[in-house]
Structure 1
C-alpha cells in the first residue's frame, strides 16, 4: 500500500468514527431504553463497539450529554458512574402484571431446561451414530461374518459325520487318569522340594547356585536329589546337581 493509499484509508476510518460519534447519543438512548437496566460506560462500550464501531471516548461523551439533557439518569456506584433510562417514561406496572411476568419466566425457564435436555440427548445420539460403523462398513462386516459362519458350519458337519467319536465313558476315564497323574505330580514335587530345603540348610551358597552347578556335600554313598519334580540317585557325591525345575520351563500344575 502506498503512502497515498494509507492516507486515504486513514481519512476514511476517521470519517467513519466521526459519523459514529455523531450518532452515538441517539444510539445509546435507544439502547438504554430497550434494555432498561443500569450500565457503566465500559459496559456500553463493550456491548456496542464491535457492531457500531464506537470508541470509548465517544461513548463516555454521549452518555454524559444524555444525562445533562435529562434523557437518562446518572448515579455514582462506588467509584464509577452508572447510567440507565429514565423510569418516568415507562408505564406503571401493577402487581398482577409482575405476577404474569414471573409466571412467564417460570414457564420459559422450564421450556429452556426441556430443550437443553433434548439437546443433550440428541448430542449423545449423534456421538453414538458418528462412532458407529457406516453402511458400507456394516455390509462388509456382514459378508465377513457370513463367510466365517459358513466355515464353522462346514466344520460342524464334518465333526458330526465322523465315526470316531469319543464315548462318555472314555472321556470320563481320561479325566480320572489326568486327576491321578496330577495328584502324583504334586506329591513328587512336594517331596523334591522338601529334600532340596533340607540340603540347603547346610549349603553355603544360594539355592540358584546349588541348582545350577552345586556339588553334594557328603563324602560317601550315592546321594538322593530332586530333578524336575522327580527323585534321582547321584552315583558320586561330587557330581554336579544341575536341577531343572518346573519354573525354569514356565510349567504350572493344572488346577485340581
Structure 2
C-alpha cells in the first residue's frame, strides 16, 4: 500500500475478497487495528473507489453502503452451485471429524499431564521400599524382644486396674457424702470449707476418674 492511494487498493482488495456490503465505519473498524488506517482516509478512499466505478455504492437514509462490483465475478450455473454445496458438505464433515479428534487428543493430553512422570514413580517406589524396610526391621525387633507380656499377666493387670478404679469411685462417693452432710450446717460455701479443711479434690489435682 502506498501513501498516495491512502489505502484505496487495500480497501478494494478487502471488499472484493469479502464480497459483502460494508459501511465506511465497518471497513475502518475491521482494518484500522492491523493496517492503521484513519477513518477520514477510509471514507475518502471508498468514495473515490465508488466514483471510479471500482466498487458500488448504495444510500440508505443517511448511511452509505459499499460493496464489490458484481460484474467482475463470473456467473455461476446450477452445476457449479451443486459442486460447491457438495464441497461445503464434505468440508463440514471433515471439520466435525477433526474437531472430534482434537477433543480426544486434548482428553489424552490432559490425562497424561495429570499422571506422574517416570522419575516421580521411580522416586515413590523407592520411598515405599524404604518404608517397608523400616516396618520389617521394627517387626523383627518386636518379635525378638524377650519382655513380652503374657495374656495371663495382661489379665491380672486389667483386673487390678478395675479394682482400684472401683475403690476410687467408692471413696470419692463416701467423701462427697460426708462433705455434703457437713455443709448442711456450715455457714460458708463449699469452697471455703475445703480450703479451711485442707482438702484437695480430684479437680484441684486435675485427676480424671478412669472409666471401667
> Do the structures match in fold with TM over 0.5?
yes
The CA deviation at 1:29 is 1.7
State the 1:85 CA deviation.
Answer: 1.9
Q: 1:29 aligns with which of 4, 7, 12?
A: 12
Shift of 1:110: 0.9
Q: Any idea what the Cα deviations from partners look like across 1:7-52, whole Å, max 9, x if unmatched? A: xxxxxxxxx9xx3351622222222222223333233223333443
Task: Note the alpha carbon deviations across 1:190-240, whole angstroms, 9 max, x for none.
Answer: x97xx89xx8xxxxxxxxxxxxxxxx74117xxxx9xxxxxxxxx989758
- The answer to whether structure 1 residue 124 and structure 2 residue 110 are counterparts is yes
Q: Which runs of no fewer than 5 residues in structure 1 stay unpaired?
A: 1-15, 200-215, 226-234
The residue that corresponds to 2:184 in the other structure is 218
| SS of aligned partner of 2:65 | strand
Return 5+ residue gaps in structure 2 as ranges: none
Residues 72 and 84 in structure 1, CA contact (< 8 A), matched pair in contact too: yes
1:39 corresponds, among 1, 9, 22, to 22
Cα deviation for residue 97 of structure 1 reads: 3.7
Measure the CA separation in 1 of the matches of 2:157 and 2:89.
Answer: 79
Specify which structure has the bigger relative contact order, considering alpha-carbon pairs within 8 angstroms and separated by 6 or more residues: 2
- Range that drifts further, 137-146 or 102-111: 137-146
Partners of 1:97 and 1:144 lie apart in 2 by 66
User: Partner of 2:41 in structure 1?
Assistant: 58
Asked if the contact 1:21–1:58 (Cα under 8 Å) also holds between the matched residues in 2, the reply is: no
Q: SS at the partner of 2:3?
A: helix
Contact 1:217–1:237 (8 Å) recurs in 2: no
- Classify 1:99/1:50 alpha carbon distance in 2 versus 1 (closer, same or farther; 3 Å): same
Residues 236 and 74 of structure 1: CA distance in aligned 2, closer, same or farther (over 3 Å) = closer
CA distance in 1, matches of 2:15, 2:156: 94
- Mapped to 2, the partners of 1:46 and 1:119 lie a distance apart of 37
Shift of 1:241: 7.2
Q: Paired residue for 2:75?
A: 91
Does 2:103 align with 1:103? no
- Residue by residue over 1:122-170, the C-alpha shift from the partner in whole angstroms, topping out at 9 and shown as x without a partner, is 55246425xx4672x6555544443333222222222333455556x55
- Please name the residue that 1:209 is paired with: none
The CA distance in 1 between the partners of 2:194 and 2:59, in whole Å, is 110
1:87-122 alpha-carbon deviations (Å, 9 max, x no partner): 342432635245325413531441353254145325
Please tell me the root mean square deviation across aligned C-alpha atoms, in Å: 4.7
2:32 equivalent to 1:49: yes
Aligned to 1:74: 57
Instruction: Output the CA distance in 1 between the equivalents of 2:156 and 2:27.
Output: 91
User: How far does residue 77 in structure 1 lie from its aligned partner after superposition?
Assistant: 6.0
Cα distance in structure 1, aligned partners of 2:183 and 2:62? 98
Alpha-carbon distance change, 76 to 179 in structure 1, aligned in 2, over 3 angstroms: farther
Per the alignment, in what secondary structure is the counterpart of residue 20 of structure 1?
coil
